[in-house]
């Protein structure tokens, strides 16, 4: 038996037509969609404050205006976490939609992830596993919507239902977790955001197709895509996504802890990559939870500095703004000079640098009118050529994300079946506290030889992302010779040297020989998380590409 599970959304705002593309493009048993991220939970929390009937991904409901009928015609089940903070509300809206359309869709939802209210917390949610989804599908649901579940639960739930796996089928569940992690970001598995994109036909990458997994009863899977769709699937695209927002060898979740150091990837054919060999262990005794709260107000002004004396111009306006804010200085003031200018430039734009000012404060006045007034009043009194990229505006609220852990028995994971029956989902029969995996033996280094100073990206791919205030950077190579060099050359200390922004931060290196990969976790790089928007690249999406652009000595034999 094969269970074909596709993905049609990697985030709230992903390609709207993907649902139709996946439902009409080829064989499919289950279509999933991931709509939730840390920032999304904050957005939905603010929506819920304004309207108690809101709090879910409205895009998904609009996609279902066509998708419900298409899925019914083709016998495809739909599973999505679009319920956000209000899965029951989304389920009711879907029932009303199905009634208007005349589609006999049976709707179910999963709840229990919302934690009791906490002071100043806008949204507090535990990450649930796939058990509730499996129970809803077993009861005949055509559509299952959830609140906060792990991204991989959108695959482990259907797999548990289809194959009848028990809660202790750890290897099988771990295989489904790995497949689910590959699928959850949509086109990132099919050539999107891919380090080695220049090795492929640009026309093929203009509109990558969405991925699907052919899942087998033993937990193995083949990652592929519908015939004739754009993009590509190879061991590189799958490796990149496996490293995205993960860390060490143990990848913990509420269903199982998957051992990423056991993953084996094989190119089975064009656009077909087999994943097998994945081992699993009992899940940890606590569920991860995300806490979102409003952190204050934020404002930004970008000054344009053109031509000569860039640094002197920057110093002048910085001193002027500092003086103007002296009596009511915001709690946090951050300046960053971005040297986009070139000498003897042929256009004014390429002769200009950008000076970015970001302020944050609990008081909307300090982040808003105070800064706006200070910037506007300098229009005729500052450096020559004074102008800004946009008029200063009001301060806007920003959020803060925190991780917490809750004992699994304290979270009422509940499947609400199509007939309204409320079915409690049992807690795992066994748990296992997380422990570090002993470091693997390293291959011998390459013998000494001539080297050439080139960008790391000449031979290594990378993908980076965020987990709360931390960032991760996965780095991989494609041959054993490159691996023998990389694993010895790119230590945590060398990583800090190449990325000076991380120099004073904790950096942990994880070695994954089966993927020829290193995964670096940088603690605290993103401050209070993406919703706080404290950094130029608040989700560390391009941190890996910065690393690839840095130069170091690479053996000529590898070039």
Tens digit of each residue's pLDDT (9 = 90 or more) over 132-182: 999 999 999 999 999 999 999 999 999 999 999 999 999 999 999 999 999
Sorted by where each starts, the structural domains of the chain and their CATH numbers stand as: 2-290+403-424 (no CATH), 293-399 (3.30.70.360), 451-558 (no CATH)
Q: What's the predicted TM-score (pTM) here?
A: 0.94
Tens digit of each residue's pLDDT (9 = 90 or more) over 85-98: 999 999 999 999 99
Strand order in 517-522's β-sheet?
A: 461-467, 470-476, 517-522, 507-512
Which pLDDT score is estimated for 527?
A: 84
How many helices (H) and strands (E) are present in the chain, helices listed first?
15, 26
Residue 468 has pLDDT above 90, yes or no: no
Tell me whether residue 59 is exposed, middle or buried, using C-beta atoms within 10 angstroms of its C-beta: 0 to 12, 13 to 18, 19 or more. Answer: middle
Q: Which residues of 70-108 are buried (b: 16+ CB within 10 A; e: fewer)?
A: bbbeeebbbbbbbbbbbbbbbbebbeebbeeeebebbbb
Closest Cα partner for 89 from 107, 75, 71, 115? 107
Q: At 534, is the pLDDT very low, low, confident or very high (cuts 50, 70, 90)? A: low
Q: Which residues contact 223 (CB under 8 A, 6 or more apart)?
A: 179, 182, 183, 189, 211, 212, 213, 233, 238, 272, 273, 275
- Token pair 């999304």 is found at 40
> What is the spatial distance between Cα 360 and Cα 422, in angstroms, rounded to a whole number?
45
> What is the spatial distance between Cα 197 and Cα 315, in angstroms, rounded to a whole number?
40
Share of the chain above pLDDT 70, in %: 99
Token representation of residue 344: 């003897």
Map residue 127 onto helix, strand or coil: coil
Strand partners, 352: 306
């Amino acid at each position: 038996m094969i269970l074909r599970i596709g993905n049609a959304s990697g985030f709230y705002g992903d390609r709207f037509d993907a649902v139709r593309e996946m439902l009409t493009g080829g064989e499919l048993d289950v279509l999933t969609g991931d709509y939730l991220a840390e920032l999304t939970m904050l957005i939905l929390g603010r929506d819920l404050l304004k309207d108690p009937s809101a709090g879910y991904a409205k895009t998904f409901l609009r996609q279902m205006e066509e998708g419900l009928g298409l899925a019914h015609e083709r016998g495809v089940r739909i599973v999505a976490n679009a319920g956000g903070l209000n899965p029951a509300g989304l389920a009711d809206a879907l029932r009303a939609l199905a009634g208007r359309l005349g589609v006999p869709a049976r709707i179910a939802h999963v709840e229990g992830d919302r934690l009791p209210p906490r002071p100043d917390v806008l949204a507090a949610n535990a990450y649930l596993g796939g058990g509730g989804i499996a129970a809803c599908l077993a009861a005949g649901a055509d559509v299952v919507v959830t609140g906060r579940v792990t991204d991989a639960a959108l695959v482990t739930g259907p797999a548990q239902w289809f194959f009848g796996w028990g809660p202790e089928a750890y290897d099988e569940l771990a295989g489904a977790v790995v497949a689910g992690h590959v699928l959850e970001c949509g086109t990132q598995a099919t050539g999107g955001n891919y380090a080695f994109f220049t090795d492929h036909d640009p026309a093929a990458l203009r509109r990558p197709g969405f991925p699907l997994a052919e899942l087998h009863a033993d937990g193995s899977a083949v990652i592929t895509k519908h015939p004739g769709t754009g993009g590509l699937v190879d061991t590189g695209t799958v490796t990149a996504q496996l490293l995205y927002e993960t860390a060490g060898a143990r990848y913990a979740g509420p269903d199982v802890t998957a051992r990423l150091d056991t993953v084996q990837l094989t190119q089975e054919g064009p656009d077909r990559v087999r994943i097998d060999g994945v081992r699993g262990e009992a899940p940890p005794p606590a569920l991860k939870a995300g806490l979102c709260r409003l952190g204050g107000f934020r404002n930004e002004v970008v000054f344009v500095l053109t031509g000569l004396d860039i640094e002197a111009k920057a110093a002048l306006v910085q001193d002027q703004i500092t003086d103007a804010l002296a009596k009511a200085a915001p709690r946090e003031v951050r300046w960053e000079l971005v040297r986009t200018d070139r000498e003897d430039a042929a256009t004014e734009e390429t002769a200009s640098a950008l000076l970015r000012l970001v302020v944050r404060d609990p008081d909307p006045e300090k982040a808003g009118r105070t800064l706006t007034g200070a910037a506007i009043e300098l229009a005729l009194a500052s450096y020559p050529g004074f102008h800004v990229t946009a008029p200063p505006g009001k301060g806007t609220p920003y959020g803060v994300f925190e991780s917490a852990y809750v004992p699994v028995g304290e979270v009422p994971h509940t499947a609400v079946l199509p007939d309204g029956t409320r079915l409690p989902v049992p807690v795992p029969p066994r748990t296992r506290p997380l422990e570090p995996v002993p470091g693997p033996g390293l291959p011998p280094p390459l013998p000494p030889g001539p080297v050439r100073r080139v960008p790391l990206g000449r031979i290594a791919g990378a993908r980076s992302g965020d987990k709360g205030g931390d960032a991760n950077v996965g780095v991989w190579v494609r041959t054993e010779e490159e691996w023998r060099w990389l694993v010895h050359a790119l230590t945590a200390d060398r990583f800090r040297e190449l990325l000076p922004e991380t120099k004073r931060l904790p950096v942990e290196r994880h070695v994954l020989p089966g993927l020829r990969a290193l995964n670096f976790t940088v603690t605290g790089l993103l401050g209070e998380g993406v919703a706080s928007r404290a950094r130029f690249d608040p989700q560390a999406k391009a941190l890996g590409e910065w690393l690839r652009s840095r130069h170091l000595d690479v053996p000529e034999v590898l070039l």
